[in-house]
């Protein structure tokens, strides 16, 4: 959860064809000439009116970005029209045209807010230049209003999250003076300091001082994050509270250091509960390590906050299971959860599948199709491998996230939905933003809240629990009487680095259950990459080339040859081929597309 930086939306410039212009003049030849000049210059909507009354009628029923009006009209004048425009609260620029320019006319037009005025005869170049300048200023003004509104909405989002989370959140400046705190922190402050009105320096406030002072000093001195740790607080009534505490630098958008964000959670009851019965999972997620306990707690808190979540982590860490858990922890749990594997289909098909399409909108569209977004209305939409979508899909998704409105392919009318979005990726999106392959504005739209899944090698104690769970699952499927792992097999598995994470562990246990004919899985049932480990290998070294050489099912050589060999061995079954290769199925689809691998190249009758 990023509380230490602010988000900035990127402005979007309105194109000429999307600008609407109204021309008001009682001379038909001038109206038509102006209209022709503007349309030929690329403006999409240019309407005309011969009188003040007809102009008012058009203004009532249409939106215009620019009005060009003659001052002299039949009945009322152009000045009257300008005055009426301002009285109605319309903020579009108005350009006056006059055959008799004088100081009084110009002064009145400027006083009423006219952008400029043109003297007759009006040259084409003067008309187009003035229209361009007026619309440019108007569009800039609208963009600034939109950016201001976006920032206000985002600030409201942060404030809502700030108020609703169960942790104590306190911000202090560079002098250790408290700037702000959320409701949970205020409750704690009032409980420990009844009657105290002012806050002041955090190291002088009873209760806060014991929890936060050391972390605040560390962050201020080193300008780096203080990792989460546990602090005991002895209260006057002899009660002992345990807080889980961390601190991060508070930075401005320009990376200027402003102070510290301090977070603490009272885990006294959790500590007591864990002594009685340690939690081993949440929904379909399995784990008893501290790393996973932190994830479970985060899911329980974030699930209840109805906002966009970005789930990141290596392939096989369980990002889809986290999305499911977030859905079932949310108020939307009784509504649909729609899952979309973004890399499992080509771009043109993904657009149609996601947004839907109208019958006849493209070749093969024989009927209306309801897209995944509409299917998820009222519930949750999970977009897996979001980091690999094209630039066009990034733009369409950004527009949808701005107001939850979209256009199906071939549809002219927008559709509004109430959908919570959860996105996942194993890619480094920040790096993709830096190299220009992923939009920065979309990145911050997705990362309102983020959950970073730990790799299996960082989940101390979870391998045995996961392995035993998978043994129980596969022994039922294969109708075998397998009970557990031998000590030697477990030791080797705990030493292994698990580049494929939980998914790889599951596949290896499945393989071992197939090979095992007794009641215990031994080292003989484990693959070579586990039994022939290099003891000097760094556990974080993902040398997949060595791993593939140790696996007799994968032929050494270039990437395309290895993929073809795996597909041939599995008779074209992509899921099984992905297991052999030790990669995610969506990654296999992407590589097959990049390498132009066609199943017709494979001899499936070998």
The count of structural domains within the chain is: 4
Domain membership flag for residue 53: yes
- Other Cβ atoms closer than 10 A to 63: 10
Domain membership of residue 6 (yes or no) is no
| pLDDT for position 543 | 38
> Which residue, chain included where needed, has tokens 């979870």?
462
* 150, part of any domain: no
Torsion angles phi and psi, residue 168, rounded to 5: -80, 120
Q: How far apart are CA 382 and CA 320, in angstroms?
A: 8
Residue 434 lies in a domain: yes
409 and 355 within one domain: yes
Domain co-membership, 238 together with 303: no
Query: Residue 414 falls within a domain, yes or no?
Result: yes
Separation between Cα atoms, residue 293 and residue 469, nearest integer Å: 18
Q: Which is it for strands 281-282 and 285-286: parallel, antiparallel or unpaired?
A: antiparallel
CATH of the domain at 532: 1.10.8.60
The DSSP code for 571 is: T
Residue 477: its pLDDT value, please?
92
In a domain, 153, yes or no: no
Question: Nearest Cα to 45, choosing from 19, 10, 68?
Answer: 19
Task: Please tell me the predicted confidence (pLDDT) of residue 275.
Answer: 46
Domain end residue (candidates: 229, 260, 276): 276
Statement to judge: residues 315 and 426 lie in one domain = yes
Task: State whether 348 and 426 are in the same domain.
Answer: yes
Q: What is the mean pLDDT of the chain?
A: 81
H helix intervals, 92-250: 103-111, 124-164, 183-192, 208-222
For residue range 237-276, what is the model confidence (pLDDT) as tens digits? 556 788 888 888 988 877 888 899 888 888 776 555 454 4
- Name the most confidently modeled range: 4-8, 54-58, 72-76: 54-58
For residue 167, pLDDT beyond 90:
no
In a domain? residue 7: no
* Same domain as 298, residue 447: yes
pLDDT value of position 47: 93
Mean pLDDT of the region 146-163: 67
**445 pLDDT band (50/70/90 cuts)?**
confident
- Cβ proximity of 183 and 202 under 8 Å: no
Question: What's 447's domain CATH number?
Answer: 3.40.50.300
Is there a single domain that holds both residue 355 and residue 251?
Answer: no
Q: Are 567 and 574 in contact (CB under 8 A)?
A: yes
Query: What confidence score (pLDDT) does residue 16 get?
Result: 79
Residue pLDDT, tens place only, 6-49: 444 444 456 778 889 999 998 888 889 999 999 998 898 899 99
Are 299 and 245 part of one and the same domain?
no
**Residue 220, domain extent:** 166-276
User: Does 87 reside within a domain?
Assistant: yes
Domain containing residue 212: CATH number: 3.30.450.20
Mean pLDDT of 321-349: 87
What does DSSP assign to residue 377?
A: T
Q: Are residues 348 and 292 in the same domain?
A: yes
| 466 close to 421: Cβ distance less than 8 angstroms | no
Per-residue model confidence (pLDDT) at position 574: 77
Find the helix or strand (DSSP H, E) in which 357 lies: none
Q: Are residues 174 and 215 in the same domain?
A: yes
Q: Does one domain contain both 581 and 509?
A: yes
If DSSP codes are grouped into helix, strand and coil, which group holds residue 596?
coil
Q: Please identify, among 249, 276, 303, the residue that sits at the C-terminal boundary of a domain.
A: 276
Whether residue 563 is predicted with pLDDT greater than 80 in this model: the reply is yes
Residue 22 and residue 117 in one domain:
yes
The DSSP annotation for 267-285 comes to -HHHHHHHHH----EETTE
Q: What is the mean pLDDT of residues 434-453?
A: 88
Q: How far is CA 80 from CA 28, 55, 68, 97, in A?
A: 20, 11, 13, 13
pLDDT band at 546 (very low <50, low <70, confident <90, very high): very low
pLDDT score at 36? 92
Q: Do 363 and 439 lie in a common domain?
A: yes
Where is the domain boundary, 276, 307, 329?
A: 276
The mean pLDDT value for 335-353 works out to: 81
pLDDT in tens, 369-400: 778 888 888 999 999 888 888 888 888 888 88
C-beta separation of 371 from 354 below 8 A: yes
Question: pLDDT band at 102, cuts 50/70/90?
Answer: low
Nearest to 341 by CA among 333, 353, 329: 353
């Amino acid at each position: 959860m990023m509380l230490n930086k602010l988000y900035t939306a990127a402005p979007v410039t309105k194109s000429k064809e999307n600008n609407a212009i109204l021309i008001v003049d009682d001379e038909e030849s001038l109206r038509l000439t102006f209209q022709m000049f503007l349309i030929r210059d690329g403006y999409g909507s240019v309407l005309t009116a011969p009188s003040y009354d007809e102009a008012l009628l058009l203004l009532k029923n249409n939106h215009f970005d620019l009005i060009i009006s003659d001052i002299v009209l039949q009945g009322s004048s152009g000045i009257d029209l300008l005055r009426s425009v301002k009285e109605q609260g319309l903020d579009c620029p108005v350009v006056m045209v006059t055959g008799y320019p004088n100081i009084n006319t110009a002064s009145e037009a400027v006083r009423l807010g006219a952008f400029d005025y043109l003297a007759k005869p009006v040259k084409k170049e003067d008309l187009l230049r003035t229209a361009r300048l007026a619309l440019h200023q108007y569009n800039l003004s609208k963009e600034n209003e939109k950016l201001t509104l976006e920032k206000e909405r985002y600030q409201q989002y942060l404030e809502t999250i700030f108020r609703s989370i169960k942790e104590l959140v306190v911000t202090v400046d560079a002098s250790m003076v408290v700037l702000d705190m959320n409701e949970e922190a205020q409750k704690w402050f009032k409980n420990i300091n009844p009657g105290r009105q002012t806050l002041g320096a955090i190291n002088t406030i009873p209760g806060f001082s014991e929890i936060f002072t050391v972390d605040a000093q560390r962050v201020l001195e080193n300008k780096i994050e203080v990792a989460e740790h546990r602090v005991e607080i002895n209260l006057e009534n002899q009660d002992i509270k345990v807080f889980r505490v961390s601190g991060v630098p508070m930075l401005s958008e320009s990376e200027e250091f402003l102070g510290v964000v301090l977070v603490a959670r009272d885990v006294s009851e959790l500590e007591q509960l864990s002594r009685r019965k340690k939690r081993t999972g949440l929904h379909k997620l399995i784990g008893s390590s501290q790393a996973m306990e932190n994830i479970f707690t985060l899911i329980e808190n974030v699930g209840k906050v109805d906002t966009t979540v970005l789930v990141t982590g290596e392939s096989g860490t369980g990002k889809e299971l986290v999305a499911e858990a977030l859905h079932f922890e949310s108020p939307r749990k009784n509504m649909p959860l729609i899952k979309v594997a973004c890399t499992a289909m080509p771009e043109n098909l993904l657009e149609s599948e996601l947004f839907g399409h109208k019958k006849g909108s493209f070749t093969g569209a024989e009927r209306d199709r309801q897209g995944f977004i509409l299917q998820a209305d009222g519930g949750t939409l999970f977009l897996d491998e979001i980091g690999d979508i094209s630039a066009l899909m990034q733009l369409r998704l950004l527009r949808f996230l701005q107001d939850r409105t979209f256009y199906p392919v071939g549809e002219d009318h927008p559709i509004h939905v109430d959908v919570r979005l959860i996105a996942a990726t194993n890619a480094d999106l920040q790096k993709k933003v830096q190299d220009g392959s992923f939009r920065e504005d979309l990145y911050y739209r997705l990362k309102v809240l983020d959950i970073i899944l730990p790799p299996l090698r960082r989940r101390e104690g979870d391998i045995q629990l996961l392995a035993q769970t998978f043994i129980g699952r596969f022994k039922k499927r294969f109708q075998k009487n397998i009970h557990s792992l031998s000590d030697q097999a477990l030791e080797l598995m705990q030493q292994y680095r698990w580049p494929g994470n939980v998914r790889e562990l599951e596949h290896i246990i499945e393989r071992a259950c197939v090979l095992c004919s007794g009641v215990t899985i031994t080292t003989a049932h484990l693959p070579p990459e586990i039994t022939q480990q290099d003891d000097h290998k760094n556990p974080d070294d993902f040398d997949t080339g060595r791993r593939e050489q140790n696996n007799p099912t994968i032929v050494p050589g270039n990437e395309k040859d290895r993929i073809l060999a795996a597909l041939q061995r599995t008779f074209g079954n992509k899921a099984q081929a992905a297991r052999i290769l030790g990669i995610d199925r969506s990654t296999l689809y992407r590589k097959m597309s990049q390498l132009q691998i066609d199943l017709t190249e494979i001899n499936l009758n070998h």
